[in-house]
Structure 1
Amino acid sequence: MPQMGYDMREGTVVRWHKQEGETVDRGEVIADIETDKATVEFEAYTGGVMGRIVAEAGVAVPVGELIAIITEPGESVPELAAPPANPAAGPAPTPAPVAADPEPAAPASPSDGGVRASPIARRLARERDIDLALVAGTGPNGRITERDIENYQAPVDAPSPASAPVATAAVPADTRIDLSRMRQTIARVTSDSKSTAPHFYVTAEIDMGKAMSLRRDVNDASDPENRVSVNDLMVKACALALAGHPKFNSFFRGDHLEVHGAMNIGIAIALESGLILPGVNNCESKSLLQIAAATKDLIARANSGTLRNEEYSSTTFSISNMGMFDVESFTAIIYPPHAAILAVGSVRQQPVVRDGELAVGQTMKATLSTDHRVADGAEAAQFLMEIKRVLQNPVSLLL
């Protein structure tokens, strides 16, 4: 089971795209794996033959545990791998103890044996002791989804007439909202980040007049399906600035910094179930239009649950943009193990002074959250000023 993200502890194979005995090419999608945050396409690390599928669909498996074996053509499957579970063959031998046990499959029961439900819905139902037979499914053909479990309210028995209380002034009742697995993961990661990485913040106001004019000209001359957003401008500007400030494209590793050559910039995407941070990889070699196209594709696949492993697990710097919500400025929590994250507010019409004259301009506030173990205040300010310089002289965004 691959680790598809810093915070991933276990994953569930939703579907195998290859069956035992079929040929596998390096880089080919062989399975869809569900994490706490998203469903990700898993690509084969090597080519060969799918010798054995070990992990059953719908069963949670800890990171690092065996899920399948790919062999060379004609090679026998190693005996160390237990055969896949076969209910008709009776109970399997007790396996040797391992460091962490995978989540057991849900036992068949009269209450849910004939109920159609997704693997994550079944898992949530087990965790919350919900009888699937009582849940109304809203998925295809009445299939119960994760959202159905999240929205389920257990029926409350009405009190008997003899015990009914005398009518009094209505008092709003307290309610309980159980956290989804994604929300629990977000809570854990953000708490770990704030308690481990000493955050500090620097904010700059950026004159976006020229950048917005450039964006308008590019969009007027481009395919309507590939329009450039303000966030695309930010991704390209950060990629250019990171080239001269590589500390901010690194991970803190105790006694050294792991500095990355590739600039894989994560963008915060708000899904109905929570926040994820997949990335556009190799931004240093992409044009502004290529970044715009890649971002739109990334957002579409994040919403449809078809992200690829490298998009979900290889980001090196991140941007969180709340400008579309008319937020002027905010601070963001660093996504570990990143060194920094840039929080972007809305572009607003504001009074500005140019050449001693008052005018109406377009400005935006950006706040850089930095891990103090990686860089100091002066370095963070210089990096942010480089982003500002690029955006205020945006011709470099097209080079």
Structure 2
Amino acid sequence: MPIAIKMPALSPTMEEGTLSKWLVKVGDKVSSGDIMAEIETDKATMEFEAVDEGTIVSIDVSEGSEGVKVGTVIATIAGEDEDAGAAAPAAKAAPAAKAEPAAVTKAEAAPAPVAKAEPAPAAKPVAVEAAGDRVIASPLAKRIAADRGIDLAAVKGTGPGGRIVKVDVEGAEPGAAPVAVTAPAAAATPAPTAPKAAVPVAAPAEIPDFGIPYEASKLNNVRKTIARRLTEAKQTVPHIYLTVDIQLDALLKLRGQLNKALEPQGVKLSVNDLVIKALAKALVQVPKCNVSFAGTELRTYSRADISVAVAAPSGLITPIIVDAGNKSVSAIATEMKALAGKAREGKLQPHEYQGGTASLSNLGMFGIKQFDAVINPPQGMILAVGAGEQRPYVIDGALAVATVMSVTGSFDHRAIDGADGAELMQALKVLIENPLGLVA
């Protein structure tokens, strides 16, 4: 029997993707583990491996196709003991057989046919599946509900067949209990309508054509995700910004000594590697800042996983140094170099960029003195690192010249108070200005 190859969900938030490139063609034999295609998700371009063995008998989605929904059949293979020629017609006949249930679903979803008696027997199985005890919701709606502490059983879906979609969850109150379902329809209606006014704000206004020459290029999935998530972050997360100046001379001296010692191993530390270590240790020292706001609860993490912003051709992505506080600076440098290379090539795996308890963004190499970064939800903070530069600085009561770096912490004020954020910034300053603690 032909085996249908479906569009995979290569990340928890992926609902659709772009089939960038096919690496196989009709007639090719594939084995488990063979790379079949490159798929652009909402995070990166990833390789899709074959799970089954057999011969490619049809490719149903051409390369370059955008917006391919997860679960869509993209190719068909014939098993090892199956005749590829016979499997091809069967594979093409499969979509026609699925057309009737799709039509039934549409008919059941429309209000008018529900009242008719004759089609009722055919529609019942679909209705049971869509409106049973199981809550039907999109992956994005589930993620937003989990972040905000919303009970999906209390949310009325407005999508096809009663499916709960993003706008339904955005209109629900955090911590809503299933009891709300029993409330009269008139009382339940205002809940989703109140926030709906904020939804159009996220949609960019149409730009008039002023006659200025320009070149338009389509947004890739990564850029779309960046636009959506950063807009949500600025609209829903109350940011508070705290800036501190840090003297770098002792850190630079130690870095030079360490690089000389590590040269035989081929390891070269950057200032960024040492700042990653310092931020992780500071978060462990001040756990009140190593948190996530989750609607009805505050999650305090027992280790510091640092997401580090990397500029890739497809857009910004944040590979993670897991448990950075307990890793040596040489291990952080080696791991960061490998992750940054994979990020620029679009080869990061989901576990390498999903998660993290705090983020770090460094624009010092561009000469940027100071900036404010946008928090990456559900994380509670991000550190923006500026350039180290020679400045007048008071040392032991006397004016001198020192290498100084300005860093700014952006904090989620729902989860982190100003005093707690200030304590973290103070701990970070002490660690960087007394850097032996980073290698102890």
TM-score under structure 2 normalisation?
0.60
For residues 197 and 43 of structure 1, do their structure 2 counterparts lie closer, same or farther at Cα, with a shift above 3 Å needed? farther
For residues 51 and 396 of structure 1, do their structure 2 counterparts lie closer, same or farther at Cα, with a shift above 3 Å needed? farther
What residue number does 1:73 align with?
Answer: none
For residues 219 and 178 of structure 1, do their structure 2 counterparts lie closer, same or farther at Cα, with a shift above 3 Å needed? same
What residue number does 1:113 align with?
Answer: none
Cα deviations by residue, 1:19-39 (Å, 9 ceiling, x for unpaired) = 999567xxx999854213422
Aligned equivalents of 1:301, 1:333: Cα separation in 2: 24
Cα deviations by residue, 1:6-31 (Å, 9 ceiling, x for unpaired) = 6x44335667999999567xxx9998
Aligned equivalents of 1:30, 1:258: Cα separation in 2: 40
Kept after mapping to 1: 8 A contact 2:312/2:345: no
Kept after mapping to 1: 8 A contact 2:15/2:70: no
> What is the CA distance between 1:362 and its match in structure 2?
0.9
What residue number does 1:371 align with?
Answer: 412
> What is the CA distance between 1:209 and its match in structure 2?
1.1
> What is the CA distance between 1:57 and its match in structure 2?
8.0
Residue among 4, 12, 19 paired with 2:11: 4
Bigger radius of gyration among the two: 2
> What is the CA distance between 1:223 and its match in structure 2?
2.6
In the alignment, is residue 295 of structure 1 matched against residue 336 of structure 2?
yes
What residue number does 2:391 align with?
Answer: 350
For residues 66 and 287 of structure 1, do their structure 2 counterparts lie closer, same or farther at Cα, with a shift above 3 Å needed? farther
What residue number does 2:229 align with?
Answer: 189
Q: Aligned partner of 2:11: which letter?
A: M
In the alignment, is residue 203 of structure 1 matched against residue 211 of structure 2?
no
Deviates more, 1:330-339 or 1:15-24: 15-24
Superposed CA RMSD in Å reads 3.8
Bigger fraction of residues in helix: 2
Aligned equivalents of 1:175, 1:214: Cα separation in 2: 49
> What is the CA distance between 1:199 and its match in structure 2?
0.5
For residues 22 and 61 of structure 1, do their structure 2 counterparts lie closer, same or farther at Cα, with a shift above 3 Å needed? farther
> What is the CA distance between 1:60 and its match in structure 2?
6.0
Once the two structures are superposed, the pairs formed by residues 327-342 of structure 1 within 5 Å of their partners are 327-342=368-383
> What is the CA distance between 1:322 and its match in structure 2?
0.4
SS in 1 for 2:387: coil
> What is the CA distance between 1:312 and its match in structure 2?
1.7
Kept after mapping to 2: 8 A contact 1:55/1:66: no
What residue number does 2:186 align with?
Answer: none
What residue number does 1:278 align with?
Answer: 319
Q: Aligned partner of 2:243: which letter?
A: T
Residue among 24, 32, 41 paired with 1:35: 41
Residue among 193, 215, 237 paired with 2:255: 215
What residue number does 2:435 align with?
Answer: 394
% identity of equivalent residues: 37
For residues 20 and 265 of structure 1, do their structure 2 counterparts lie closer, same or farther at Cα, with a shift above 3 Å needed? farther
Kept after mapping to 2: 8 A contact 1:3/1:313: no
Kept after mapping to 2: 8 A contact 1:13/1:55: no
Q: Aligned partner of 2:375: which letter?
A: I
For residues 236 and 177 of structure 1, do their structure 2 counterparts lie closer, same or farther at Cα, with a shift above 3 Å needed? same
For residues 52 and 261 of structure 1, do their structure 2 counterparts lie closer, same or farther at Cα, with a shift above 3 Å needed? farther
What residue number does 1:236 align with?
Answer: 277
Once the two structures are superposed, the pairs formed by residues 80-229 of structure 1 within 5 Å of their partners are 89-90=92-93, 92-93=95-96, 94=98, 96=101, 173-175=212-214, 177-181=216-220, 182-223=222-263, 225-229=266-270
> What is the CA distance between 1:206 and its match in structure 2?
0.5
Q: Aligned partner of 2:40: which letter?
A: E
Aligned equivalents of 1:88, 1:253: Cα separation in 2: 45
TM-score under structure 1 normalisation?
0.66
Relative contact order higher in (CA < 8 Å, ≥ 6 apart): 1
SS in 2 for 1:222: helix
SS in 2 for 1:200: strand
Kept after mapping to 1: 8 A contact 2:10/2:41: no
Aligned equivalents of 1:352, 1:317: Cα separation in 2: 30
For residues 302 and 87 of structure 1, do their structure 2 counterparts lie closer, same or farther at Cα, with a shift above 3 Å needed? farther
In the alignment, is residue 249 of structure 1 matched against residue 290 of structure 2?
yes
Query: Which sections of structure 1, spanning at least 5 residues, go unmatched?
Result: 69-83, 101-170
SS in 2 for 1:318: strand
Q: Aligned partner of 1:36: which letter?
A: D
